[in-house]
């Protein structure tokens, strides 16, 4: 297969072509030529304002497969990822059964042989993601697990957290934890504050996040190792991480892209697609997260794609499940939030996640395998036609979004969007 990408602006700070407009000839999955004007008579991909970067990576998504394929399976999940611009996805371990065996890890690696979207399984840190007993992490690492976490659940047991950090040092493994004290967040449905009081809903305090972050940072300082704190939602939580980094602790963090757009004020219509965990916080927190991106405290941006069927979301707000479908709208949200800083921050979902996971970072260079995402600033609408997910629980469903993914190139395949 051979095709030409015509006059695309290359967005890759590590490339000598960064911000330049070039033609790229792709042949049999390899970047054959990069030049100003390539004469070519085969398939040509061109669009107004076309940009190309290395393939995007999402460090937090849940395909629900195996176990809940009616919500999302590998096929629909990969279609969503491709439409959202992602060539690589780190998957949460909270499947049924959880990802805690070699066979469970190999299930995803078998899929990768024929897919443009490469799936990287995150193995469970504890058996059943219950926080009571560690899994066989060395065996899982050898089988191809990229990181260790209890995923949707925090590691609540302090001694298990400590031993996990120690054990993973044997192979420089990464422990990912969700910052949540479940004793403080239990029965809560949204951010604790003025809005939750007015809505008559039990709130989840910021303290549930900061207590867990502080505990994990104390354990990290005591044991060493590599810790990644996922889905930081508050300015207070981010400040704890900022201080820890200045102290030299080996800690990183990510922020869900929708936390750059929504606040607890947006929940006043009781839209269950906005019920997420951790909850959307205040405008002050939203601005603090943006500041954390610009000053380098935030290491990665993730979609936190947690798809649900209608039976799980079309309920009273306090009965609905946490989570929403976010991968397809990721680029539109990040474009709006970051504005002129977008190109400077694109490494948060390209190179930085791969470096954290010790994966090879693709290059936009002649002779290299083509792992690319194509995009521009066009508008599109999220609706029944464009939605690739089995879930319709998107807070942007029915809305026009500015920032469009045109396709991905990976594993010798070209996948163009029809949105």
Q: What's the gap between Cα 399 and its chain centre?
A: 22
Instruction: Give the count of alpha carbons within 13 A of 329, CB side only.
Output: 29
Rounded Cα distance, 251 and 221, in Å: 10
Note whether 232 and 241 are within 8 A (CB): yes
DSSP letters spanning 369-415: B--EEEEEEEEEE-STTT--SS----TTTT-EEEEEEEEEEETTEEE
Residue 233 DSSP label? -
Coil/strand/helix, residue 88: strand
153 by Cβ neighbours in 10 Å (0-12 / 13-18 / 19+) ranks as buried
- Give me the catalytic one of 88, 264, 304, 321: 304
393 contacts 308 by C-beta, under 8 angstroms: yes
CA distance 225 to 168: 7
Closest CA to 90 of 64, 119, 111: 119
Q: Which two tokens stand for residue 315?
A: 């309920």
Would residue 269 show up in a list of annotated catalytic residues for this protein? no
373-390 burial code (b ≥16 CB/10 A, e <16)? bbbeebebebeeeebbbb
Residues 6+ apart with CB under 8 A from 188: 202, 203, 204, 205, 208, 279
- CA–CA separation, 222 and 417 (whole Å): 48
Question: CA–CA separation, 231 vs 255, rounded Å?
Answer: 5
Helix or strand or coil: residue 199? helix
Q: Hey, what are 142's tokens? A: 């050898």
Say if CB 190 and CB 196 are below 8 A apart: yes
**Tokens at residue 274, please?**
């906005």
Q: How far apart are CA 322 and CA 28, in angstroms?
A: 42
Catalytic residues: 304
């Amino acid at each position: 297969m051979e095709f030409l990408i015509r006059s695309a602006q290359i967005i890759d700070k590590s490339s000598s072509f960064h911000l330049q407009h070039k033609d790229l000839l792709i042949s049999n999955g390899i970047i054959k030529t990069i030049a100003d004007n390539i004469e070519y008579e085969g398939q040509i991909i061109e669009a107004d304002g076309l940009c190309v970067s290395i393939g995007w990576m999402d460090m937090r998504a849940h395909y629900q497969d195996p176990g809940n394929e009616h919500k999302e399976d590998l096929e629909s999940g990969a279609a969503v990822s491709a439409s959202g611009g992602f060539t690589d996805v780190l998957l949460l371990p909270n499947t049924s059964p959880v990802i805690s065996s070699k066979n469970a890890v190999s299930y995803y690696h078998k899929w990768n042989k024929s897919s443009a979207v490469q799936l990287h399984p995150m193995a469970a840190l504890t058996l059943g993601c219950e926080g009571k007993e560690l899994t066989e992490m060395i065996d899982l690492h050898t089988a191809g697990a990229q990181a260790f976490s209890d995923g949707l659940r925090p590691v609540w047991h302090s001694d298990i957290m400590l031993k996990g950090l120690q054990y993973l040092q044997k192979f420089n493994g990464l422990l990912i934890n969700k910052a949540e004290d479940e004793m403080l967040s239990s029965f809560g449905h949204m951010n604790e504050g003025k809005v939750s009081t007015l809505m008559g809903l039990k709130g989840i305090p910021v303290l549930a996040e900061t207590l867990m972050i502080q505990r994990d940072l104390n354990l990290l300082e005591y044991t060493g190792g590599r810790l990644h704190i996922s889905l930081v939602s508050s300015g207070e939580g981010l400040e704890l991480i900022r201080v820890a980094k200045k102290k030299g602790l080996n800690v990183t963090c990510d922020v869900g892209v929708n936390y750059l757009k929504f606040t607890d004020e947006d929940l006043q219509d009781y839209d269950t697609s906005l019920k997420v965990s951790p909850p959307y916080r205040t405008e002050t927190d939203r601005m603090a997260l943006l500041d954390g991106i610009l000053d380098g405290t935030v290491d990665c941006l993730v979609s936190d794609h947690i798809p649900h069927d209608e039976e799980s979301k079309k309920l009273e707000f306090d009965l609905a499940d946490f989570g929403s479908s976010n991968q397809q709208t990721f680029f539109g949200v990040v474009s709006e939030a970051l504005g002129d800083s977008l190109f400077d921050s694109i490494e948060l979902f390209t190179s930085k996640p791969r470096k954290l996971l010790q994966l090879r970072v693709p290059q936009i260079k002649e002779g290299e395998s083509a792992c690319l995402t194509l995009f521009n600033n066009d508008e599109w609408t999220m609706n029944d036609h464009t939605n690739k997910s089995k879930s319709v629980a998107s807070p942007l469903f029915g809305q026009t979004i500015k920032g469009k993914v045109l396709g991905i190139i990976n594993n010798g395949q070209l996948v163009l969007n029809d949105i």
